[in-house]
Amino acid sequence: MRKSNAGFLFFVLLPVLAPALTLNEVYEAALKKTESVAIAESQLRSADAKVSQSRAGFLPEIAFKADYYTQNQTIGTSGEKEQTGSRVNLSQSLIAGGKDRAGYKASDYAMEAQKYNLQAAKNQLYSDVAKVFYALLSARADAENVEKTIELVQKRVNELEKLNRVGRSRPIDVLAAKAQIAVLESQKVAATAARRIAKNNFADVTGLDRDAELSEAGEIPEAVAELQTYLRDLENRPDVQSQKALNSYYDYSVDAASGGHWPSVDLSGNYYLSHTGAPTSTQNRDDWNATVTLTVPIYSGGETSALVRQASELKNQSALVMQKKLRDAEADVRTAYNNLISGIEQIKALEKALAITEQNYRQQERDYGYRLASNLDVLQALNSFQDTKRSLDRTRFQAYEAVAQLRAKTNKVNN
């Protein structure tokens, strides 16, 4: 019976004892649960199918064809009005003005762009996950800090009420402490709302439970390399590499469109399997035939020229997008880098401030016992101490996020 109870207790406590999730664990889970990466994977498979489709332009097309022919007069001198036949037809493009080759190369570069887009989607997901992950931890810590402050002030109210009953404190001291609690309660409402919003954002981005237990473990490097070290590899970012591939795609798209101005040569052949009825002028009794067709474009209503102009403009647009991608990439890295450097400096300053404000608070409490400090002095010291604690926690999580953002913006997610 005891074993049964113990086993039941184990399973009841199992969710509580489950280890807290780290940022990387949440990211790995989000990869499987969210749609953005799955969409990028589907787009890559679609691009691969497009490459296979383009490759088909170099290969012959073989088809079985059957014919049934009838007319209201007899065919030739046979006295028959109907004719049937079946054949195997082969069609092969021999020369297409370079359209087939250019189209194949364009689709190949389009697939390469999608490969980089997939990695870019993973980096963006990591960035998004880091943002909501540390925002939730920060909101949780802020709410806990407010509750802790309320607890400390309430403890002081209780002590002041005892002292007031024996005439060692003034009623106004109790009132001042209660007023402080009222202010803190309003802050608690705001902090609770912020935590609730952070939970919803976390669940929306990651696909995980909004009440998932998260680990506060983070990393702040002791030393950060120079900014130029991070900017040096901007062109290796997957979004930039994707745009490079798209530039090549549009180069070949122009070639493919220009191929419409050039002659084409096509081969067509038939191998006849059966004949019934009299032969027509288009079909004799031969077992096979072959035709080579030369097509020289003369006039197409300006369609080919319009396609070339359109492809050229898309090429120009792609070059401009490339310039913007590089600027945006540099801005991303600079922002993450500056946030990290600023965070590290603020943490050092706030840690010193926290130690001093805590020491001041403790000293004010002692001095109040000796009537060397007023109740207002104690409350102000407590507020200063707790406000500094809230700022430090908030800044620490912002610095953790900056580390993750810098990793995402420099394509170091898997490193």
Residue 341: inside a domain, yes or no? yes
- Is 40 part of any domain? no
CA distance 34 to 210: 14
**What distance lies between CA 329 and its chain's CA centroid?**
15
Q: Is residue 101 part of a domain?
A: yes
| Contact of 231 with 60, CB cutoff 8 Å | no
Tally the domains of the chain.
Answer: 1
In a domain, 257, yes or no: yes
Residue 91 belongs to some domain of the structure: no
Q: What is the CATH number of the domain that holds 335?
A: 1.20.1600.10
pTM of the model: 0.83
- Classify the C-alpha dihedral 120-406-325-226 as positive or negative: negative
Residue 202 counted as domain residue: yes
SS3 18: coil
Tens-digit pLDDT profile for residues 119-162: 999 999 999 999 999 999 999 999 999 999 999 999 888 888 88
Task: List, for residues 41-81, the tens digit of each pLDDT value.
Answer: 999 999 999 999 888 888 899 999 998 888 777 766 666 77
In a domain, 83, yes or no: no
Q: Which domain holds residue 311?
A: 96-262+302-409
124 and 408 in contact (C-beta within 8 Å)?
yes
For 358-406, how does the pLDDT look when each residue is reduced to its tens digit (9 = 90+)? 999 999 989 988 788 888 898 999 999 999 999 999 999 999 999 999 9
Torsion sign, CA atoms 379, 382, 387, 390: negative
In a domain, 229, yes or no: yes
Are the CB atoms for 184 and 121 separated by under 8 Å?
no
